[in-house]
Chain A
Amino acid sequence: MIWSFDLLILLFMVICAFFVIQVKDLLGAAIVFGVYSFLMCLLWTEMGAVDVAFTEAAVGAGVSTVLFIAAVHRSSRQVKPRKRWRRPNKAVGLIAAGLLGGVLFYASVDFPDWADPSSPASTHLSPYFITEALADTSVPNLVTAVLADYRSFDTLFETAVIFVAGMAVFMILGQKTKESAQVGIDLTGGYEDTIIRVVSRALVPFMQIFALYVVGHGHHSPGGGFQGGVLLGATFVLLAISFDLKMVLGRMSEKKNLLLANTGVLLYSGIGVLSLLLGANFLDYSILHTLLPSTGPVVARSHAILGVEIGVAITVMAIIILIYTNLSSGGTNEKGL
């Protein structure tokens, strides 16, 4: 908690945000936005939110930059100059942002001091989580315990939201028949680069093992289903960039992806229904100790958290691959970046 270090990162972030919206080249804007995300990840590590920083490093700096590049590559790269008759838009935007900003500045006087341990957010519910989570669930990583146990309803529906988002992308872009679609632009131009292919082929297995480690070791270190799932999806995106989309679709076809995305959500809600069937509440894992041999109610919660995280990871991985393959090929799944 070094406030001068925070100030430095925050100033860099403001500069990055300003340039992101000012720069005329959309590809450049996507890259600067990746830098912005990475600075944010540093800031969160510094604030002690390691799980959030890990997620942001995988999602913000990695996957969303790739998604932006895929979308820009399929459409136009340059921002055209604005026509005269739409000029008032700028003034309206400035006035609205200025007014709202002024109101928020006025309100910020009432906020508790930054990093105050006795602020309302840290006094009511969270002390219970911090002091009791280890005894309740035997999971030392409090974020994982709260994510998959105390707030498992929330996480279940967040997973469902990701599933629905993936379905939406599939519905918007995936309906094209192969005849009517225009042929995608081929970035590589038939040029094959041996070095990139060999290195990415060598790295991908290690990345996938690391992703599985992140999923499995989320109880004790930063990580869990969301981060591991994003990493697994990113390995396939890397393969799709360095080889081509056909190769990835050969391994993970669209049908397989859809099935996997369903399986993940089903696994999560299945664990919930299982505890319902055994006579407890929905997603109340402690009852599962009757099924698992030689486990008490506490350890059963720990094991069920792992099962839930695996479900989340499968869904997130499948949806990330689905979004990327559809975005980069305009839904035809023929040629990607």
Chain B
Amino acid sequence: MELLISSYNYWIYIILMMIGLYAMLAKNNLIKKIIGMSIFQTAIIVFYVSISAKKDATIPIIEHGKGHGHSAVISAMDYANPLPHVLMLTAIVVSVGTLGVALALAQKIYDRYKTLEEDEILEQLQEQAVSDSVMTSSGCDNDK
């Protein structure tokens, strides 16, 4: 029971991360892959935030009146660790930027191939490669 309470949330982050990884590897649709990437990202972010948590600690904003003029001593035990918060706050906002880039690329792919399914895009690419090689080989024949 002690072990369960002390580390069950790590296991759940691992499960979330694996769901994201599976979606990125196995899903056929590009938007689904992007969602998988976002889930993977959030699993890492929630892991970072959770290591900043402390028992019996409050939010990392010092109460008004406390510590001004060093009248009261601020104890590090009383406040949650602000450092992972800072790292993850910027990471979240950057993740929306990367999400925008990923969606823009997906939209460009859709404009060109009229589909977002990976296998259909691959099929079209193979057909194109075959027709290209036919073209070039016939071009070589003409040269001879």
A257 to chain B, nearest CB (A): 13
**Residue A193 interfacial (CB < 8 Å):** no
**Residue B130 interfacial (CB < 8 Å):** no
Which of A81-89, A239-247, A289-297 makes up part of the contact surface? Answer: A81-89
By the criterion CB–CB under 8 Å, are A48 and B60 in contact?
A: yes
Known: A48-B53, A92-B25, A111-B10. A21 touches B32 (CB 8 A): yes
Task: Give chain A's interface secondary structure class.
Answer: helix
Which of A26, A60, A147 is close to B92, meaning CB atoms less than 8 Å apart? Answer: A60
Q: What is the CA–CA distance of A214 and B66 in the complex, to the nearest angstrom?
A: 23
Q: What is the CA–CA distance of A34 and B42 in the complex, to the nearest angstrom?
A: 12
Known: A75-B106, A94-B22, A101-B18. A21 touches B60 (CB 8 A): no
Instruction: List, in ascending order, chain B residues with CB within 8 A of A29's CB.
Output: 31-32, 35
Q: What is the CA–CA distance of A173 and B93 in the complex, to the nearest angstrom?
A: 21
Known: A47-B53, A316-B93. A126 touches B108 (CB 8 A): no
Q: Which of A1-32 contact B (CB under 8 A)?
A: 1, 3, 6-7, 10-11, 13-14, 17-18, 20-21, 26, 29-30
**Residue B143 interfacial (CB < 8 Å):** no
By the criterion CB–CB under 8 Å, are A155 and B5 in contact?
A: no
Q: What is the CA–CA distance of A60 and B95 in the complex, to the nearest angstrom?
A: 9
Q: What is the CA–CA distance of A92 and B115 in the complex, to the nearest angstrom?
A: 24
Instruction: List, in ascending order, chain A residues with CB within 8 A of B31's CB.
Output: 26, 29, 68, 71-72, 75
**Residue A277 interfacial (CB < 8 Å):** no
Instruction: List, in ascending order, chain A residues with CB within 8 A of B74's CB.
Output: 130-131, 134
Task: Give chain B's interface secondary structure class.
Answer: helix
Instruction: Give the size of the chain A interface in residues (CB under 8 angstroms).
Output: 112
**Residue A326 interfacial (CB < 8 Å):** yes
Instruction: List, in ascending order, chain B residues with CB within 8 A of A11's CB.
Output: 12
By the criterion CB–CB under 8 Å, are A169 and B52 in contact?
A: no
By the criterion CB–CB under 8 Å, are A44 and B49 in contact?
A: yes
Q: What is the CA–CA distance of A144 and B92 in the complex, to the nearest angstrom?
A: 15
Which of A197-205, A219-227, A248-256, A302-310 makes up part of the contact surface? Answer: A219-227
By the criterion CB–CB under 8 Å, are B14 and A140 in contact?
A: no
By the criterion CB–CB under 8 Å, are B88 and A60 in contact?
A: no
By the criterion CB–CB under 8 Å, are A122 and B54 in contact?
A: yes
Instruction: List, in ascending order, chain B residues with CB within 8 A of A112's CB.
Output: 51
**Residue B135 interfacial (CB < 8 Å):** no
Known: A59-B96, A75-B110, A135-B70. A49 touches B21 (CB 8 A): no
Which of B53, B58, B116 is close to A76, meaning CB atoms less than 8 Å apart? Answer: B116
B95 to chain A, nearest CB (A): 8
What 0/1 readout, one digit per residue, does chain B (60-93) give for beta carbons within 8 Å of chain A?
A: 1111100110100111110111111111111011
Give the nearest-CB partner of B74 in chain A: A131
By the criterion CB–CB under 8 Å, are A168 and B104 in contact?
A: yes
A residues sitting closer than 8 Å to B (CB atoms) are 1, 3, 6-7, 10-11, 13-14, 17-18, 20-21, 26, 29-30, 33, 36-37, 40, 43-44, 47-52, 55-56, 59-60, 63-64, 67-68, 70-72, 74-76, 79-80, 82-83, 85-86, 89-90, 92-94, 96-98, 100-101, 104-105, 108-109, 111-117, 119, 121-122, 125-127, 129-131, 133-135, 140-143, 145-147, 151, 154-155, 158, 161-162, 164-166, 168-169, 172-173, 220-222, 226, 230, 316, 319-320, 323, 326-327, 330
- Shortest beta-carbon contacts, A-B, top 8: A93-B26, A165-B97, A93-B25, A127-B76, A323-B100, A113-B6, A158-B90, A142-B82
B residues sitting closer than 8 Å to A (CB atoms) are 5-12, 14-23, 25-29, 31-32, 35-36, 38-39, 42, 45-46, 49-64, 67-68, 70, 73-77, 79-90, 92-101, 103-108, 110-111, 115-120
Question: Could you give 25 example pairs across A and B, Cβ below 8 Å?
Answer: A6-B9, A7-B9, A29-B35, A47-B52, A48-B57, A49-B59, A89-B28, A92-B25, A113-B7, A114-B10, A117-B77, A121-B84, A131-B75, A142-B60, A146-B86, A154-B86, A155-B90, A158-B94, A162-B93, A166-B100, A172-B101, A172-B105, A220-B64, A222-B61, A323-B96
